[in-house]
Structure 1
Amino acid sequence: MARPVWSGALSLGLVTVPVELYPAVADHTIHFHQFERGTSDRIRNRRVNERTGDEVTQDEIVKGYDLGGGDHVLVEPDELDEIAPERSRRIDIEQFVELDEIDPWFFDKTYWLKPAKEDFAKAYGLLLQAMDRSEKAGIAKFVLRGKEYLAAVRAGEDVMVLNTLHFVADLREPKDVMGKLPELPKPRPKELDMALALVDEMTAPWRPEDYRDEYSKRVEELIKAKEAGKEIAHEAEPEPSADVVDLFEALSRSVKNRKGGGKEPAKKPAKKPAKKPPEPELSDLSKSELDKLAREQGVKGRSKMTRAQLEKALKAS
């Protein structure tokens, strides 16, 4: 079982629940060591004193802020911890917002939050149910590994989810990154209609399990082949398609290719027979439970429905 990366307390008003934070995403990147070509000698990175060339251990290193002109202000790690003693051990929810009001641009990493002990399960469960029913996210700030984070705490399926968010000051505007953007001419109506037709033709239910990291798989195959002394066959690069000057013609071809034998969209889950639950039972279910039931019954558009809309759709199914 994974170890928590942070432990402290989740606070909402006068309700405080000791919690532990666990990473919800695993890194499947294939990592390599470095070697000098033609030898079996490892290349290692070391921390060395720039003046003497001597290697320095981690506990002998302090942080330095560059003032310019070769001058620095030196800061001990303990001094950084002391200026934020409370927030480093607390996640204080300052307000609630509608989850769909948070632009995806702001989202960074995802974590699970669980109660630190069984004794706190009741208070944890109460906050989880309240977030689930309200469909809102709690906005908070906390310190992790010496850095302050903005976070959104929301209800997941039987567990709280914490998403770290970027501060506004961290986000870069397109014009600041790319310079002047080109003027966008207004599309002709028939081009827009054809583009919408292509979007509709390519629309399918979101099924994340259909997507795989193909590059990592090929790297693994390469490693196994080289270990066995074999050569791996490489796929030929696809022939470049002929340029189509007319945008409408390009869109028309795309739609025809989709309809006439292109890649088929993911099939929608088969509608499973299910007895219509009585109304009192539906009203007692959480949003995640209603969503699961709607998925089993093949209710369309469920991902964008509120809890009340899910309940209404299930009653009508």
Structure 2
Amino acid sequence: MAHAVWSGALSFGLVAIPVQLFSATETHTIRFNQLQRGTSDRVRNKRVNERTGEEVPLAEIVKGYDMGDDYVVVEPGELDEIAPGRSKALEISGFVDLEQVDPIFFDKTYYLAPKSKEYAKVYALLQEALTRSNKVGVATFVMRNREYLVAVKAEGDILTLHTLHWADEIRDPRSEIGTLPERGKVADRELQTAVQLVEALSIDWDPATYQDTYKDKVLELVQAKRAGATVEKSEPPPRSTNVIDLMGALQASIDKAKAGGKAGKGRASAVAEREVRPPTELKAAAEKRRSRQAARKTAQKRSKEAELAGLSKTELYQRASEAGIPGRSGMSREELVQALAAAGGRRKKRAS
């Protein structure tokens, strides 16, 4: 069960609801302990007085703000005292269209939940209002001695809170990065070919199809070193494209995409259709293709669920392990079936 990282009152207008905040994401980064080379001795960090070299207990540590020639000492409790109310209040000051918030402002995502089920009606009211209006609520609040600018957003049947960067935290790329080129003229023929390549490589967004292959490689390296074996090195990064060969590289990429199978041929034909068909027909054709794809995916998923329903939970878990499905250890039998069906029931190829 997830633990709340903050609790307080969410308010909009004269309406208030007690809420709790939960982290929406978790990292699966592989962590290493630090060892002294040639030994199995752990290396640990300690809080040490840099003048005396002696370790300092946590209870004796205070905060100091560097004024240049001296420090201003601030006790931890003094920070809580200057904003006791704000650390428990999440007040929406206004609502803005979601499209107005540039993605660069988004930082971290949390789930917002009512503190108890008796507040479900008010919670659902705000969630549905945000869904229908396609707006987000903008607010500020204090958490862990830091003030956050946030956007409260409806995601399906729940509310999410996204911390945002402050305006002065967004860097100006033109002043920060010296290698950015000035906006120049692009040749029409090259641009048209680049658009064709983008269309030929277009896919439906399905985050479940992407896996952390680097993490798998790290685990493979650890297991190989333990067994005294070696791991094949990955391919080197691609070489930069010579500007002179740009058109040839674009055309070769399109040819490769077309040869990738029926899906690639279908996309290539769609590109060709764009050159002769009016926009209204193109839009209708695109909608039909999306409908057919959605219906085909639904049918495939149901067929796969029916196939998986005959397997035991042990067999389902084994397939989930081979497919690299995250969170499988805590899933019920029905959840394993759904997760495997969503992943297409595919098994990962084992490294030879």
Superposition TM-score, scaled by structure 2 size: 0.72
Change (3 A) 1:91 1:230: same
* Kept after mapping to 2: 8 A contact 1:35/1:42: yes
Shift of 1:254: 1.6
Change (3 A) 1:147 1:262: farther
Between stretches 82-91 and 244-253, larger displacement belongs to 244-253
CA distance in 1, matches of 2:243, 2:105: 37
Shift of 1:240: 5.1
Q: Deviations over 1:158-212 (max 9, x none)?
A: 2101000000011111123213633332011111111111111111111111111
* Kept after mapping to 1: 8 A contact 2:138/2:150: yes
Indicate the residue corresponding to 1:129 in structure 2.
Answer: 128
5 Å-filtered alignment, 1:161-176, equals: 161-176=160-175
Given residue 61 of structure 2, which amino acid in structure 1 is its aligned partner?
A: I
Indicate the residue corresponding to 1:116 in structure 2.
Answer: 115
* Kept after mapping to 2: 8 A contact 1:98/1:136: yes
Indicate the residue corresponding to 2:254 in structure 1.
Answer: 255
5 Å-filtered alignment, 1:167-246, equals: 167-179=166-178, 181-237=180-236, 243=242, 245-246=244-245
Between stretches 255-264 and 171-180, larger displacement belongs to 255-264
Given residue 73 of structure 1, which amino acid in structure 2 is its aligned partner?
A: V
CA distance in 1, matches of 2:98, 2:126: 16
Q: Deviations over 1:20-39 (max 9, x none)?
A: 10001101111111001001
1:271 matches 2:295:
yes
Indicate the residue corresponding to 2:270 in structure 1.
Answer: none
Answer 1 or 2: higher relative contact order, Cα 8 Å, separation at least 6: 1
Given residue 179 of structure 1, which amino acid in structure 2 is its aligned partner?
A: G
Shift of 1:224: 2.3
Change (3 A) 1:119 1:170: same
Shift of 1:50: 1.3
Given residue 27 of structure 1, which amino acid in structure 2 is its aligned partner?
A: T
Change (3 A) 1:98 1:239: closer
Given residue 249 of structure 1, which amino acid in structure 2 is its aligned partner?
A: G
Residue 68 of structure 1: SS of its match in structure 2? coil
CA distance in 2, matches of 1:263, 1:245: 32
Given residue 161 of structure 2, which amino acid in structure 1 is its aligned partner?
A: L
Indicate the residue corresponding to 1:63 in structure 2.
Answer: 63
* Kept after mapping to 1: 8 A contact 2:241/2:249: no
Given residue 191 of structure 2, which amino acid in structure 1 is its aligned partner?
A: L
* Kept after mapping to 2: 8 A contact 1:244/1:250: no
Residue 50 of structure 1: SS of its match in structure 2? coil
Superposition TM-score, scaled by structure 1 size: 0.80
CA distance in 2, matches of 1:227, 1:217: 15
5 Å-filtered alignment, 1:142-153, equals: 142-153=141-152
More helix by share: 2
Indicate the residue corresponding to 1:77 in structure 2.
Answer: 76
* Kept after mapping to 1: 8 A contact 2:96/2:138: yes
* Kept after mapping to 2: 8 A contact 1:258/1:264: no
Unaligned segments of structure 1, at least 5 residues: 275-317
Shift of 1:234: 2.9
CA distance in 1, matches of 2:253, 2:61: 59
Residue 35 of structure 1: SS of its match in structure 2? coil
CA distance in 2, matches of 1:125, 1:272: 33
Change (3 A) 1:61 1:272: same
Shift of 1:218: 0.9
How many aligned residue pairs are there? 273
CA distance in 2, matches of 1:41, 1:273: 53
CA distance in 2, matches of 1:133, 1:239: 46
CA distance in 1, matches of 2:32, 2:75: 33
Indicate the residue corresponding to 1:5 in structure 2.
Answer: 5
Question: CA RMSD, aligned part only?
Answer: 2.4
Between stretches 15-24 and 214-223, larger displacement belongs to 214-223
Residue 150 of structure 1: SS of its match in structure 2? strand
* Kept after mapping to 2: 8 A contact 1:106/1:166: yes
Shift of 1:236: 4.7
Indicate the residue corresponding to 2:155 in structure 1.
Answer: 156
